[in-house]
Amino acid sequence: MNRLAEELNSVLRDTIVYEVLSDVGKSMYFPKGIVAQSGEAKRFANRYNATVGMAYANGKPMRLKVIERYFNELDAEEIFSYASTSGLPELRKLWREEMLAKNPSLQGKNFSNPLVVPGLTNGIVNAADLFLGRDDVVVIPDMFWGNYRLIFEVRKEAKVATFPFFKPEGGFNVEGFGEALKSNANNGKVLTILNFPNNPTGYTPSKAEVESIVRKLDELANSGLKIVAITDDAYFGLFYEEDTNKESVFAPLADLNRNILAVKVDGATKENLVWGFRVGFLTFASKELKNEHYEALEKKTMGSIRSSVSNSSKIAQSLLIRAMKDPDYAREKEEAFETLKTRYLRVREIITSKRSAKIEALPFNSGYFMTFKVRNGKAEELRSYLLHERGIGTISINNSYLRVAYSSIDLENLEELYNEIFEAAERVV
């Protein structure tokens, strides 16, 4: 094992982080190579800097005018140069401040500085690199984003174990969650992903349900189970009902139990309506971790980023910094939220007014989506009919569910869309 990896492991040795690191995670380190030496040169090379693999002219990055002319206010350095492996320091600081504002119960708690990753997917992949081995198990509800299987089962050769998302009477299945964690632990360790608002259901637990989730995790951790709890907060903030939990589950887990490592994966993707920017963030917390532990974990994460994508888009980060400091930022975000909430309320109204023996709406209260349970296992037939006969695109899941992204449909078209879906169900299902 590399000496630098061993040094980081020695810092982390008596913490939950070391206990849940995968073999890859234990071997990971941030090399003192080109990137580190270039960073040092930025601080001290006051004559000539011949380190980084970029082309400069007159102290500015060389660039093509046919690209530069499309940018009015950004400096060439903000557009064309590399970003640091961990992300632009100013953006990390701004995101941390916003995270505290959106999650007030994080105030006073010690957690890592967010690292920038190229999208939430890459954040989950990096977390899997660090904490998921071939024999490990990831516990997730049976209603989940299909990319999890590619990441965990195909890339990492680990096992995905599921439990029913909803209780028979509705609401998040906390008992099923706890049983799945307990029965799928491998050598006293288990990973889980909590994705709220959930894709595909569009459901976020209530405040009382989140309290129950947290109690269950604490109870299992007190029994000696080592838990890596990843919160996939892709749709964070899009909470439309009063009793819906408004903070990330990361917040109460951040200092809950020394046997729980909380990993927050979030990003500007949906929160700031920049889907193609591919800017996400990865943040860590656990009860007894100190700053030196977070620094060591950050270096391991930087090694994972460096060895896979090198760094995230500089121009996307630069644009986000400009936007987040703009006086219109908060107002425009609130306007976007109200637009989506209005669509949600209209969908809720439409569905409440309809009855069907063929399709049934699962509980939903947040995010971009709602999902129908389709009788007789004909979700794919319904999807195909809607697409080819009606010109309407939806997503079928396991041939039992039909996901509808009402976020992508203008308010005035929602009634027609859902009328078509209900009519098609009567014809096909």
Give the residue among 313, 329, 339 at the shortest CA–CA distance from 408. 339
Residue 63's pLDDT is what? Answer: 82
Residues 38/52, Cβ–Cβ less than 8 Å: yes
The predicted model scores a pTM of 0.93
d(C-alpha 111, C-alpha 254), whole Å = 7
d(C-alpha 427, C-alpha 380), whole Å = 14
Residue 290's pLDDT is what? Answer: 97
If one counts every other C-beta atom within 10 angstroms of the C-beta of residue 111, the result is 21
- The residue behind tokens 């939950």 is 16
Residue 180: half-sphere exposure toward Cβ, Cα within 13 Å: 22
d(C-alpha 222, C-alpha 219), whole Å = 5
Residue 267's pLDDT is what? Answer: 95
Query: What is the full DSSP assignment across 169-213?
Result: TSSB-HHHHHHHHHHT-BTTEEEEEE-SS-TTT----BHHHHHHH
Residue 158 main-chain phi, psi, to 5 deg: -100, -175
Residues found in the chain: 429
First to last CA, the chain: 58
Q: Is 307 exposed, middle or buried (0-12, 13-18, 19+ CB in 10 A)?
A: middle
Residue 36's pLDDT is what? Answer: 66
Residue 208's pLDDT is what? Answer: 97
Q: How far is CA 149 from the centre of its chain?
A: 15
Residue 33's pLDDT is what? Answer: 64
Parts of the chain with a pLDDT under 70: 33-36, 39, 41, 45-48, 50, 52
If one counts every other C-beta atom within 10 angstroms of the C-beta of residue 173, the result is 19
Domains of the chain: 3-30+85-324 (3.40.640.10), 329-428 (3.90.1150.10)
DSSP 413: G
